[in-house]
Amino acid sequence: MFDTLKSRIFQGKQYIKDIQNAPIKDEFRGFPIIENGEIDTKICPTGAINTNPLSIDMGKCTFCGACERACKNIKFSNGYKLTSSKRENLIITSENNYEEYTKTAVESKKEIIKTFGHSLKLRQVSAGGCNGCEMELNACSNVNFDMGRFGIDFVASPRHADGIVITGPISENMAFALENCYHAVPNPKLVILCGACAISGGIFQNSKTINREFLEKYPVDLYIPGCPVHPLTFINGILNYINSK
């Protein structure tokens, strides 16, 4: 027992104290900064780049940096607060700036705040994902990020959940299981798309083996971009959603 106490004292507090203002390395590719100009859209593997005006769809973007290397008009900042409650907000042009985006991109409903404001239990469904986003979501609960201190946890059963977090492009083989899971979650419930594959299909968007009919049937409450999604992006996105006014 005493050895355990000495070890805890020696290690100190390992969690990030201020998760909403945590620093991140400059090398991290986050919110894109765009200046109007020309670029070959074929350089993007997921078709995230459009012209007239020049824009990047963060819902399709894998943040690979190919466009940044090929075009001086595009740079990725290390801004990691990328979550939006509306799909159209993820399309970034030269008129968007990071500070304004973080203030307006996430809008919640009064009933969401009232119901889930102090506790949120989520069931994660890997719908054909590569395990990139899944590994990062696991990291959200480690000692460093410690998502549980905010009352946000992943649970084993959809019947114990307040919503589902979907990763992966939704493969044909997972379509039925995903819908089954959705119906098992009690009302009211949330649907959160996590990562480029879940939001748009990502690099698999033109595959014949995915079935995204689920997203045509049921409303999505939150879009969290990334490939994979960083724990800071996920945690801050959830916190902004359940605490927004």
Task: Name the CA radius of gyration of the chain, rounded.
Answer: 19
What is the reported pLDDT for 36? 86
Q: Which helix (H) or strand (E) holds 167?
A: strand 163-167
Cβ–Cβ under 8 Å, residues 163 and 183: no
What is the reported pLDDT for 230? 98
What is the reported pLDDT for 12? 66
What is the reported pLDDT for 210? 96
Q: Determine the straight-line distance between the first and last CA of the chain, rounded to whole angstroms.
A: 45
DSSP state of 73: T
What is the reported pLDDT for 11? 62
Q: What is the mean pLDDT of each run of 10 residues along the chain (245 residues)?
A: 70 82 95 90 94 93 94 94 97 95 88 79 95 96 93 95 97 96 94 98 95 96 97 96 75
Q: Is the pTM of this model over 0.85?
A: yes
Tokens 């307040």 sit on residue: 162
